[in-house]
Amino acid sequence: MKFTRLSDHAAELAKTAAALPGPASLKINARSVEFPDGVCASFAIAGYPREVGAGWLEPLTGYPGHLDVSLHIEPVPPLVAAQRLRRQLARLESASTSGLAPDFATEAAADDAAELAASLARGHGRLFRVGLYLTIHAADSDELEAEVQHVKALAASLLLDAHPATFRAMQGWTTTLPFGADALRTRRTFDTSALAAAFPFASPDLRPRLAETPVLYGLNVYSSGVVLWDRFAHDNYNSVTIARSGAGKSYFTKLEVLRLLFHQVEVCVVDPEDEYRRLSGAVGGTILGLGAPGVCFNPFDLPDAVEGDDALDRRAMFLQTLVGTMLGEPLNAATKAVLDKAVIATYAAHGITSDRRTWKRPAPLLADLATMLEATDAPEASQLAARLAPYVSGSYRSLFSGPTTTRPDGHLIVFSLRDLPEETRPVGMLLALDAIWRRVSNPADRRRRLVVVDEAWTLMRENEGARFLYRLAKSARKHWTGLAVVTQDAADLLGSDLGKAVVANAGTQILLRQAPQAIDEIADAFNLTEGERLFLLSAGQGEGLVCGGAGDRAAFSAVSSTYEHSLATTDPAEWEADQP
């Protein structure tokens, strides 16, 4: 090593040395380097497993202590690689045939070399000289010894043979510094696939397909990598999120909704608890607070966009379903015939016929239908008019007393059901679901959409809500739409044929913290391992498991910015603190 004297003056030399980056002094021992505030020891990896999987180095890169991992890569020219492989293959084949007793290790190495040579000849990959080095830091020698034993045990569990840099401790330390200089030169030949698997930027558990709408779900719990997921890149766009109360399922869902809006995905939300109002207001969405004072929703409205020549007939059929829900029982054939005739006559009285040009005229109201029924001679008509009185002039009239106050349009549409009384909740829910289905199934307006049904157990208690979930779960993909079912009641979801159909048609499953009473059923339904069961029982708020197709799954922790958190949180204390 050559040294250059900077100056003959001791004071100037001291000033120059103080300006250089690095420790004030070093003590180099046989196997360690001591600093003024710590000590370190270095290791070179000399032995590797025969086969490795994606992200196999993540246990080292995610080690909780102070461990520097350095990977030095040098490409081998193809001509040199071919010559070396040829010589190595000849040497191994000669060694495997010369001995009296079979050497299985040599035979396996010869087979690997032959396979590698064939791959290289076809241009499927290249060879690289790779050096892997570890430097362990600690506060003192005793702590260093304990850390060394932990890291060596971890390396042994990965089938890595770690050799200490004896009498080369200084070179080992500098090799793991970000200088790009390999002073130890302990190399091993890797092919392209093995080298790609060594990079710590991929989760060993998740191999998602990403297209135009990737969403950050969070950070991998067991590594430093991110968990990205794109529901629209899979064959099925649906998802199901199951968690106990307070585990963060609504928080996570709001984050996904917010991030999908950046990708121009239109979102419709059925919100039983009015939790999406703040998010909708922040992004300029449309919120329909069904049941709130002054909010009206007219079921007679015809679509603004052309949905087909039979739009008027389909409105008439929906009104039969709506009246049956209002009455709490199915309509018989005679009542349906009278009601259908009255609906068509009510539209005609307001100048609306099968001619599309008339569909822009103001739609009639429920009170107009009641008036038409009262003017009809059939006994079924007068009975219907009398039973509809609570919705026309009685205590339930507010939702139907006037024209629609807010049209369900925009990039984010939220149907809030919190203000609906229990007696009218099935009716309001049916109106919301019908508006969503008309928008989703309109062939004249095809685009990526997501329908979020939060607290889905409340819908599954109602016949119309259950049928809507079933229909959307089965056919949403055909309309470029994903259905996101969010629920805390795993028993209701997994204990019914409808719930099983929703889960079976969900390409993405999100499992957050589970209650001990439900974990066995969850584990059986989603084929969880014992480790995954224990993780879901002890997961923190926002931590969970994302499961995709082909066995892809990863444990993640949802992350958000400060502003995203303010929009997604449902903590009443935080909401109160944000009030002016």
Confidence of residue 6 (pLDDT cuts 50, 70, 90): very low
Q: How far apart are CA 174 and CA 567, in angstroms?
A: 47
In this structure, the number of other CB atoms found within 10 A of the CB of residue 193 comes to 13
Q: How far apart are CA 507 and CA 549, in angstroms?
A: 7
Q: How far apart are CA 192 and CA 195, in angstroms?
A: 5
Q: How far apart are CA 192 and CA 135, in angstroms?
A: 26
Q: What percent of the chain has pLDDT over 70?
A: 83
Predicted local confidence at residue 14, as pLDDT: 61
Q: How far apart are CA 508 and CA 473, in angstroms?
A: 12
| Closest C-alpha to 483, from 453, 460, 439, 448 | 453
Instruction: Indicate whether 447 pLDDT > 60.
Output: yes
Amino acid at 565: H
- β-strand pairing of 449-453 with 481-487: parallel
Predicted local confidence at residue 551, as pLDDT: 59
With 0-12 / 13-18 / 19 or more C-beta atoms within 10 angstroms meaning exposed / middle / buried, residue 422 is exposed
Q: What percent of the chain has pLDDT over 90?
A: 35
Amino acid at 391: Y
Between the CA of residue 302 and those of 95, 295, 311, 353, 397, what are the distances in Å?
A: 84, 18, 7, 11, 21
Q: How far apart are CA 471 and CA 266, in angstroms?
A: 20
Instruction: Indicate whether 1 pLDDT > 60.
Output: no
With 0-12 / 13-18 / 19 or more C-beta atoms within 10 angstroms meaning exposed / middle / buried, residue 523 is middle
Predicted local confidence at residue 286, as pLDDT: 95
Q: How far apart are CA 502 and CA 506, in angstroms?
A: 6
Q: How far apart are CA 308 and CA 441, in angstroms?
A: 11
Q: How far apart are CA 365 and CA 403, in angstroms?
A: 7
Cβ-proximal residues to 145 (8 Å cutoff; 6+ apart), any chain:
none
pLDDT tens-digit map of 228-278: 899 998 888 999 999 988 888 999 999 999 999 999 999 999 998 899 999
| Closest C-alpha to 263, from 211, 209, 208 | 211
Q: Which residue has the higher pLDDT, 554 or 17?
A: 554
In angstroms and rounded to an integer, the radius of gyration of the C-alpha atoms of the chain is 34
Confidence of residue 575 (pLDDT cuts 50, 70, 90): low
Q: How far apart are CA 533 and CA 555, in angstroms?
A: 12
Instruction: Indicate whether 99 pLDDT > 80.
Output: no
Helix residue ranges, H only, 311-424: 311-327, 333-349, 366-374, 379-387, 389-392
According to the 3-state scheme, what is the secondary structure of 136-157? Answer: EEECCHHHHHHHHHHHHHHHHH
Amino acid at 8: D
Confidence of residue 2 (pLDDT cuts 50, 70, 90): very low
With 0-12 / 13-18 / 19 or more C-beta atoms within 10 angstroms meaning exposed / middle / buried, residue 442 is middle
Across the beta sheet with 543-547, what order do the strands follow? 226-229, 215-220, 553-557, 543-547, 508-512, 239-242, 481-487, 449-453, 266-271, 412-416, 286-289
Q: How far apart are CA 19 and CA 36, in angstroms?
A: 17
Average pLDDT, rounded, for the chain: 83
Q: What is the mean pLDDT of residues 400-406?
A: 90
CB 184 within 8 A of CB 174: no
Predicted local confidence at residue 565, as pLDDT: 92
Confidence of residue 149 (pLDDT cuts 50, 70, 90): very high
DSSP letter for 41, please.
E
Predicted local confidence at residue 194, as pLDDT: 77
With 0-12 / 13-18 / 19 or more C-beta atoms within 10 angstroms meaning exposed / middle / buried, residue 37 is exposed
CA angle 259, 264, 268 (to 5 degrees): 75
According to the 3-state scheme, what is the secondary structure of 394-413? Answer: CCCHHHHCCCCCCCCCCCEE
Residue 50 has which token pair? 């025969």
Confidence of residue 189 (pLDDT cuts 50, 70, 90): confident
- For 565, what's the count of Cα atoms within 13 Å in the CB-facing half-sphere? 9
pLDDT tens-digit map of 28-56: 999 999 998 899 999 999 988 877 776 78
Q: How far apart are CA 237 and CA 303, in angstroms?
A: 26
Q: What is the mean pLDDT of residues 542-552?
A: 80
Q: How far apart are CA 578 and CA 580, in angstroms?
A: 6
CB 373 within 8 A of CB 384: yes
Point out which residues pair with 33 in neighbouring strands: 28, 40
CB 40 within 8 A of CB 135: yes
- β-strand pairing of 481-487 with 239-242: parallel
Q: Which residue has the higher pLDDT, 192 or 146?
A: 146
pLDDT tens-digit map of 328-360: 888 889 999 999 999 999 999 999 988 888 888
